[in-house]
Structure 1
Amino acid sequence: MVTLGREASGGRILPMGDRALLLEVGSLDDVLDLRDRLEASRPDGIVDLVPGARTVLVRVDPAVLSLGAAQAWVAGAKTDAASAAAASGPLVELDVVYDGADLAETAVLLGVSADELVRRHAAAEWTVAFTGFAPGFAYLVSHEWTFEVPRLASPRTRVPAGSVGLAGVFSGAYPRETPGGWRLIGTTSTPLWSPDAASPALLPPGARVRFRRAEKASPESGAVAPVETDAARSGIRVIQSGLLATIQDRGREGAASLGVSRSGALDRTALGVANRLVGNRDVAAGVEVTMGGFRAVAERDLWFAVTGAWGPVRLGGHEVDPYTALEWRAGEELHLDWFAHGARAYLAVRGGVDAPVVLGSRATDRLAGIGAAPLAAGSTVAVGDDVAGPIPVAPPAPWGTPHDDELEIELAPGPRADWFAPSALRALFDETWTVSSAADRVGMRLDGTELVRTRDGELPSEGMVPGALQVPPSGRPTILLADGPVTGGYPVIAVATDAALDLLAQARPGTRLRFRHARPPA
């Protein structure tokens, strides 16, 4: 049980659902110090330490370490020699051409010449305070940098990879092309994110950075290209992908401090059942199909199973049962028609889908742009050898049609409930909410009563978890899902429990949600 607002080493321990704590301190310097102290004494069971502007998110594996034990560890963390050594990270030098589109205008805003702005930026030694909305995107701070730069009033829809920018007290460089509202002052050709490398992020938290003024930038910017599946071991050829079909497994834990979300199957239970039906290990990858409309042909004899959302499943033109291991002969077409109930089905083939492993997972992360590209007509899907044993004689568990008219979702406390009026907390649990059409693997926006805030202004960027109910100024909450960002700037009023995430995976536009308080852990 997490005690709201409990003091810990000069800060507060705030609840963040049933598998995380948010540690709030007074300044960014305190964040860096706290992160180093925690890293120096990190016990088994701590999945991630994610620093933010005023917080450190601690994500816990409760099978190894209880949330209460994690809270006791946090409260007792002390500075020692090891943490002091950790505070001085490696030095990385980045060559930068100061040719940014906003350089001249930013200099005018700050009351200096463009040359003076460049000189100060290159003269400062920067430190990676935390990572943000994209893998490898580092928020850099420096005691030698005295400016605070306003973000663009209208963010760009496309910021090229390698762009160096300023926002607030931070500097940073974009590892890949994304939207963004930072003011661009230069370009670096240095690759900032290499998912196949042993250390994929060039700028991890704690690293020191210096910018070196260069004369010319290479046109190659270090963007991360989508990875295609290996056609050499093809087992499936996609004819029609439907609304969205991606390769997913259990996801990648432990990379949030690099800006990488967990990703993986939204309905982990359904994928696990599909894998067991065909004798795979639970960690094997399969195909996640959203809303149906998927067609594929086997290029060799296979065994398969379909679980999760319900709709007609046809093999060779004949309807077959879900939740059953079936033989799929070479040349036969498998058709997952549009789903009548639920939102996501899982196709497992014996041996599992063989796709490139990025940070320990084959999962496709659409927000981060890592993993195999979403499947499309003509895509070939390789089959691996991720087998645990023979195909079981009987199904591993009973199954039924997913309930998607109204779902009851358990909510654990969130860290920013005190930002909201008492009426908002009552409405959250008393009202019925509806999943809007703005729903995907990143998150789902809910329609319902406006949740009234009692505190205005922006929240400094802080760590997020799947299931977090962020509330933007509109007052309508959004539930973050597996591909959601690892940090965010909207207050989190509550967090769906880890067990509830599989239920939310099957919610479709129009599904009604009723929230209830989660039972405290035993």
Structure 2
Amino acid sequence: MSENIRFLPSGSTSMLVELDGLQEALNLLDSLRAQLPLGVRDLIPAARTIMVDYDPAIVSSDALVQLISNLDLSAQAARHGETFEIPVIYDGEDLRDVADHLGCTQTEVIRHHTEATFTVAFTGFAPGFAYMTSDDPIFNVPRRGTPRVRIPAGSVALAGRFGGVYPSDSPGGWQLIGRTPLKMWDLSRERAALLTPGDRVRFMDLERTGASKSPKPAKSLPKKRSPEKGGIRVIRADRPALYQDLGRGGCSGQGVSTSGAMDRESFRRANLAVGNVQTEGAIEIAFGCFELRADRPITVAVTGATCPLTIRTASGQQLRATHGEAIALDEGDELVLGFPDRGSRSYLALRGGFAVDPVLGSVSVDTLAKIGPDPITEGDFVIPAGRHAHAVGLGGPSPQLPDDKLPVTLDVILGPRVDWFTPNGVETFLEQEWVVTPESSRIGIRLAGARTIERIDDAELQSEATVLGAIQVPHSGQPVLFAADHPLTGGYPVIAVVAAHHLDLAGQLPIGARIRFKAAGGKDHIVGEISR
């Protein structure tokens, strides 16, 4: 049987492999996981695609294309995972509509749903959200015409050929048929997501059975320690500051993206300046206007957005401090960060690091997934960890920072879905100037332009993985540049991805910045398509 595989560029270090359908995508996923190619860092499956994230210093895209094109995808591998029984109260608002669409009664919908075995195919949309396929072919229902603004956590739902359970309150367009008291996402468990790819699920009618066998208890994580009294006091924070590091890799199976510092090079430079290892957690401060008071002699450094730095000594003197270099503070000294004149995010590193508990292996605060330590606000104390540090040094030349008075050019790699847009739409994307709007955040940088990006049609894209720097175009035609806390999957076409060497620059874009996109290699878009 002939299979069509398309290899679609998705930035500098990823490619989207598109297949005929879900089963082919899962077959490819199983084949790659059975013998993970050297240099492949992550595999993120979706409805008919696999996002392959790789290290180009170890393996080239050409080598991966050749390897994947030679795989035998005809055999369906057995998927391994745990089996869970999930109790459901079948009182969903859309149960009657689902029954009408399927041409049966509500009782028959419940019977089909409880007799079927569901298998988790992939995760995404939100942490702990599992896309499940059923062995009962009856389940194929459309999404709601108008999505709901809020769907309660625990809602059991159907859309297309997938079933799912909402792990948290969120908007959504799936058809609701019931609800479960079980938590799909719980950070107190060793595995926060109840369901991960390969797991099997049987739904139980709670009203009929009266009780249900719950999943076996997961090992709980140790409780977080209470904050110590005293420490370095934050005496001003116009906006909450966030602990960040280089992110939490290896959590895509639970529906969690990497997160981490928006400007990674500036983050590394801050740690180098105080003698820390480059991965030590630091504080990310958006738009300056932040002050702290030392309760002991400490050494800090500030990098990233260039904001005025002032030391107010305990004796009342005011001294200027140097951006990007180690700053020694005595007990009672205060460090003042003003509003930046270039860039948007500063990084404050402390020699020896901060005493803060990691969540899922990282201290990064993911603002979309609501994962990580609490934000830092005025009046909080941050505690030195006192870890071993090396000699302080310079972090090297300062990286490029945007200036809101001058347009910024970002190099992009067209694709993976540039063919969803008209030639005029692609020209609009590349030729006109875009402005960063106030609705921008660590999740996505929202852009506005005089002309909208024209699509070929209004077809609905099946959910597929997205990457840092992906530029998604919703129906409004105004693009959104996915930032550090972007969702793992998305349902709008991605016209291009910011090149790796400009991701940090994009992470420093302030509100009001004017930007243009420049296609790496010109406007030509090359799609590798192989018939087998």
Q: Which range moves more in the overlay, 142-151 or 35-44?
A: 142-151
**Cα deviation code 1:192-230 (max 9, x no counterpart):** 234465533221112211112224799xxx9x99x9885
Determine whether 1:238 maps to 2:228.
no
Q: Which range moves more in the overlay, 430-439 or 378-387?
A: 378-387
Determine whether 1:200 maps to 2:209.
no
> CA separation of 1:203/1:51 partners in 2, compared to 1, >3 Å: closer, same or farther?
same
Determine whether 1:254 maps to 2:250.
yes
SS at 2:77 equivalent:
helix
> CA separation of 1:29/1:251 partners in 2, compared to 1, >3 Å: closer, same or farther?
same
Q: Hey, what's the Cα distance between the residues in 2 that align with 1:505 and 1:409? A: 11
> CA separation of 1:233/1:69 partners in 2, compared to 1, >3 Å: closer, same or farther?
farther
**Other-structure match for 1:517:** 519
Shift of 1:169: 2.1
CA contact (8 A) 1:234 1:383 kept: no
Alignment of 1:91-102 (within 5 A): 91-102=83-94
**Other-structure match for 1:130:** 122
CA contact (8 A) 2:239 2:377 kept: no
**Other-structure match for 2:490:** 488
CA contact (8 A) 2:268 2:395 kept: no
Alignment of 1:95-174 (within 5 A): 95-174=87-166
> CA separation of 1:401/1:294 partners in 2, compared to 1, >3 Å: closer, same or farther?
farther
Q: Hey, what's the Cα distance between the residues in 2 that align with 1:234 and 1:290? A: 25
> CA separation of 1:262/1:429 partners in 2, compared to 1, >3 Å: closer, same or farther?
same
Aligned Cα root-mean-square deviation (Å): 2.8
User: Alignment partner for residue 464 of structure 2, among 426, 450, 462?
Assistant: 462
State the AA in 1 paired with 2:376. L
Q: Hey, what's the Cα distance between the residues in 2 that align with 1:156 and 1:422? A: 34
CA contact (8 A) 2:3 2:20 kept: no
Q: Hey, what's the Cα distance between the residues in 2 that align with 1:145 and 1:133? A: 24
**Other-structure match for 2:167:** 175
Shift of 1:391: 1.7
Q: Hey, what's the Cα distance between the residues in 2 that align with 1:498 and 1:362? A: 23
User: Alignment partner for residue 285 of structure 2, among 268, 289, 305?
Assistant: 289
**Other-structure match for 1:437:** 438
**Other-structure match for 1:72:** 66
Alignment of 1:220-239 (within 5 A): 231-232=227-228, 235-239=231-235
**Other-structure match for 2:526:** none
Shift of 1:500: 0.8
Gaps of 5+ in 2: 523-532
CA contact (8 A) 1:314 1:335 kept: yes
> CA separation of 1:518/1:385 partners in 2, compared to 1, >3 Å: closer, same or farther?
farther
**Cα deviation code 1:379-430 (max 9, x no counterpart):** 33233245441223xx232338833232221111311111112222233322
Q: Which range moves more in the overlay, 151-160 or 343-352?
A: 151-160
State the AA in 2 paired with 1:370. I
Alignment of 1:380-459 (within 5 A): 380-392=381-393, 395-399=394-398, 402-405=401-404, 406-448=407-449, 449-459=451-461
Q: Hey, what's the Cα distance between the residues in 2 that align with 1:253 and 1:390? A: 29
> CA separation of 1:510/1:89 partners in 2, compared to 1, >3 Å: closer, same or farther?
same
Shift of 1:519: 5.5
SS at 1:39 equivalent:
helix
TM-score, L = length of structure 2: 0.87
SS at 1:409 equivalent:
strand
SS at 1:438 equivalent:
coil
Q: Hey, what's the Cα distance between the residues in 2 that align with 1:322 and 1:25? A: 50
State the AA in 1 paired with 2:346. A
> CA separation of 1:229/1:412 partners in 2, compared to 1, >3 Å: closer, same or farther?
farther
Q: Hey, what's the Cα distance between the residues in 2 that align with 1:237 and 1:180? A: 41
**Cα deviation code 1:447-498 (max 9, x no counterpart):** 2232211233111111100111111112221111110111111111111012
User: Alignment partner for residue 478 of structure 2, among 467, 476, 489?
Assistant: 476
SS at 1:418 equivalent:
helix
Determine whether 1:90 maps to 2:92.
no
SS at 1:276 equivalent:
helix
TM-score, L = length of structure 1: 0.89
Identity, in percent, stands at 42
Q: Hey, what's the Cα distance between the residues in 2 that align with 1:230 and 1:69? A: 50
**Other-structure match for 1:263:** 259
State the AA in 2 paired with 1:306. V
**Other-structure match for 1:11:** 5
Q: Hey, what's the Cα distance between the residues in 1 that align with 2:36 and 2:399? A: 42
Q: Hey, what's the Cα distance between the residues in 1 that align with 2:411 and 2:271? A: 27
CA contact (8 A) 1:132 1:259 kept: yes
Q: Hey, what's the Cα distance between the residues in 1 that align with 2:225 and 2:469? A: 30
SS at 2:272 equivalent:
helix
CA contact (8 A) 1:188 1:217 kept: no
Alignment of 1:304-453 (within 5 A): 304-316=300-312, 318=318, 319-392=320-393, 395-399=394-398, 402-405=401-404, 406-448=407-449, 449-453=451-455
**Other-structure match for 1:300:** 296
CA contact (8 A) 1:196 1:358 kept: no
> CA separation of 1:285/1:291 partners in 2, compared to 1, >3 Å: closer, same or farther?
same
